[in-house]
Structure 1
Amino acid sequence: MKATWDIFCSVVDNYGDIGVTWRLARQLAAEHGLAVRLWVDDLGAFVRLCPQAEVQAPRQTQQSVEICLWPADWQEVVEPADVVIEAFACELPAAYIAAMAGREQKVLWLNLEYLSAEDWVEGCHGLPSMQSNGLSKFFFFPGFTPGSGGLLRERGLLAQRRAFQADERARDEFLRDLGVEPLAGALLISLFAYENAALGSWLEVLAAGPQRIQLLVPEGRILSSLQGWLGSPALQVGDACQRGQLHIQVLPFISQDQYDRLLWSCDFNAVRGEDSFIRAQWAGRPLLWHIYEQADGAHLEKLNAFLALYKEGLSAEAQVALARLWDAWNSNGPMGECWTQLLKNWPEQIVHAEQWCLERASQADLAEALVQFYLNWL
């Protein structure tokens, strides 16, 4: 019989949590032949990522994964799975935990943590935490180093990406399907971020620069900042405008597979949170990360920990340029001079982005690491 896996996801205020767990659930089912249930407390958010899903259906199957509504007033009587993943510190229903403790066959309980490159991650990855009911909960940390749980990456993803990037016609057809007409000689940039006061200074230098820029902005929170700079009323999907060398177009909210291809199509990707951040790295192109802001500046420690890893192998000048740009973007600083400095090292940044991608891909991916952890635990 297939091993059964339950993944619990509580949607907070963005699509990162459900984005990661939906990708993981699909991969566990498709590549490892597991019976996977994904419990989601907000089907509306899930339907944005999986448009064919039914927002009113408490149970449904999508891409070989059983999608279950996780109600606030849990009344479910279900047999706990062999492996239970508590994603991003969400709290499992008390009745479900009691059923886990009473199950004759033991359950592997995993707390899937947020992604971090901080030094302490390797030391905490895989550690158990004894619970008062006799169960053990293990901490599982995704990460960028061999001592962590790895990153989400489907089999064949990089081969698909390379084939797509080598086929200019495929790229142009994909963009046209989104309503985008590729501009000859333009530097293509995708922008997916939270609200950001630093955006205006970046757009100013893009508009005044020597090269034509095509900025593609998927529907999202950054639109309010873009509207402020443009001095325009509410932007709508499909809206396009030009300021100097800068051509801006608002794209619809797209599926995860489409978003991957958008990242592959662009020369530079500004991304946010966790899911799009990882996918931009698999695109093998230079990127800019808008990390989710936390109290007391804890997010900046995570940002700097990642930069410390990512910068390895770059020249001193390229390291400084990259760090200054990321710091300005995440601290509402002036972006103009930082962007100009980065362009001076542009060829090096391109080569480095691909090399970083290949080095991370040499490690076990997150789904594979989770399955192996379960097999070792058995």
Structure 2
Amino acid sequence: MKSSQFNTPRQVKQYDMSNKAGRRWDVFCRIVDNFGDIGVCWRLSQQLAHEHHLQVRLFIDNLAIASKIIPSLNAELPSQTINSVEICTWPNADEDIKPADVALETFSCELPATYLEAMQASTLWVNLEYLSAEPWVADFHARGSNNTKITRHFFFPGFTDATGGLIRETNIFQKNQKLAKSPPLQCDFLQSLNLVHDDALKISLFSYPHAPIPSLLNAMAESNQRIHCYVPISSILPKVAKYFGVDSSQLNTIQTGEKFSQKNLNVTILPFLSQSDYDKLLAICDINFVRGEDSWIRAIWAAKPFIWQPYLQTENTHITKLDAFLDLFYSSCDETARYSVSEAHSAWVADNITIPVWQNYLNNLPTIKRFTLQQANQLAEQTDLAAKLVIFLQKLSVKV
């Protein structure tokens, strides 16, 4: 990717709407893919509240799952305020809720019918779409649909200035870089997880369960260098345990802190990490396997080599999304390194990472590392998603 494709760097400004129309925002989140939807919504809601001084209500349809991401959340309470965000249960059909100035519908989750009916003409309605690097995104970003009494605007995140940008809190990139460059800080974090800091290659593994996990673990075990692989508790644990010969009757009993070894590979099972700790894990690892949307973007801000697994879709739509991202992000990368990245991603989504494919990726890792840092640094100079949303809603409020 040429630097011009990420457009001209600029100073990112905080936009304060506290004294303008659109101060109160309602964010709606249906949890479809376990943690991805709520992960994005929770990060965005906090950023809107803290950096843009907005009153934010976050409506969630499954508080039990959300509590994994928000540990202090009480799933039994219909409403509670955490970190300056009011978190509410998804409205029932008979609930009378006064709509806010802005209704932010995330990922086409569909607003509750009673809420939609109560919305006034002055309510600003935005649907935040899923992230994609496909070229058509820029053409559809910020368009409106007039199928109802209120215009519904479609906001597309993306990697260029012609889109809605990427979710990124102030200074997250700089904080990650500080950690990545400080062995003492890394050591402190690893010790907090009962891990040892040494010179082995560090890899984090977070994926969907249909990924070719056994072939990846085998390729790691057969690689020419020692590897520490950190696996936060998730649905892939049975596959990890099975690879190491755990009896089938015990596959679902793997606990935090358990360790497995095979040749050059050491695997440690980590607890389900807070968003802050997961960011730190990504920043100290040499390679990060990530999935969906939330962890994908966090891997970019970690500025370390990563292999992304898109959410599985029909008609191979996920492959189209993957190819579009690889073409955009790595277009100006060294040809040999770029091929190794593409080969590794293709193998990961095609159900088999062979030893030669993995070793070729490792052979090109220094080049991939330098390039990833360069690209992440350029993206961090763009206006972020929350700021672009606020600017967009400011302009809309003037027209209403």
Task: Give, in angstroms, the shift of residue 75 of structure 1.
Answer: 2.4
Residue aligning to 1:186? 200
Could you tell me how far apart the structure 2 residues matched to 1:334 and 1:29 are?
Answer: 43
| 1:284 corresponds to 2:298 | no
Task: Give, in angstroms, the shift of residue 162 of structure 1.
Answer: 1.5
Task: Give, in angstroms, the shift of residue 13 of structure 1.
Answer: 3.6
Residue aligning to 2:218? 204
Residue aligning to 1:275? 294
CA distance change for structure 1 residues 334 and 117 in 2, over 3 Å: closer, same or farther? same
Question: Runs of 5+ in structure 2 lacking a partner?
Answer: 1-17
Residue aligning to 1:253? 272
* Alignment deviations for residues 130-160 of structure 1 (CA, whole Å, 9 cap, x no partner): 023x210000000111111001100111121
TM-score (norm 1): 0.96
Residue aligning to 1:155? 170
Residue aligning to 1:174? 189
2:161 to 136, 146, 151: 146
- Specify the SS of the correspondent of 2:279: helix
Task: Give, in angstroms, the shift of residue 197 of structure 1.
Answer: 4.8
Could you tell me how far apart the structure 1 residues matched to 2:328 and 2:352 are?
Answer: 23
| 1:238 corresponds to 2:257 | yes
- Specify the SS of the correspondent of 1:51: coil
Could you tell me how far apart the structure 2 residues matched to 1:307 and 1:335 are?
Answer: 20
Could you tell me how far apart the structure 1 residues matched to 2:193 and 2:65 are?
Answer: 21
Residue aligning to 1:67? 87
Aligned-partner residue type, residue 131 of structure 1: N
Could you tell me how far apart the structure 2 residues matched to 1:202 and 1:80 are?
Answer: 48
Residue aligning to 2:6? none
Query: What is the RMSD computed on CA atoms of the aligned residues?
Result: 1.2
Question: Runs of 5+ in structure 1 lacking a partner?
Answer: none
- 1:1-378, aligned counterparts within 5 Å? 3-71=23-91, 73-100=92-119, 103=120, 106-132=122-148, 134-182=149-197, 184-232=198-246, 233-234=250-251, 235-378=254-397
Q: Could you list the runs of 4 or more consecutive aligned residues of structure 1 that deviate by over 6 angstroms after TM superposition? A: none
Aligned-partner residue type, residue 323 of structure 2: N
Could you tell me how far apart the structure 1 residues matched to 2:302 and 2:191 are?
Answer: 20
Could you tell me how far apart the structure 2 residues matched to 1:140 and 1:169 are?
Answer: 41
Aligned-partner residue type, residue 74 of structure 2: E
Is the 1:325–1:335 contact (alpha carbons within 8 Å) kept by the matching residues of 2? no
Is the 1:198–1:335 contact (alpha carbons within 8 Å) kept by the matching residues of 2? no
Identity of aligned residues (%): 41
Task: Give, in angstroms, the shift of residue 335 of structure 1.
Answer: 3.1
- Specify the SS of the correspondent of 1:81: coil
Task: Give, in angstroms, the shift of residue 163 of structure 1.
Answer: 1.5
Structure of greater relative contact order (alpha carbons < 8 Å, 6+ residues apart): 2
Could you tell me how far apart the structure 2 residues matched to 1:130 and 1:148 are?
Answer: 21
Is the 2:143–2:153 contact (alpha carbons within 8 Å) kept by the matching residues of 1? yes
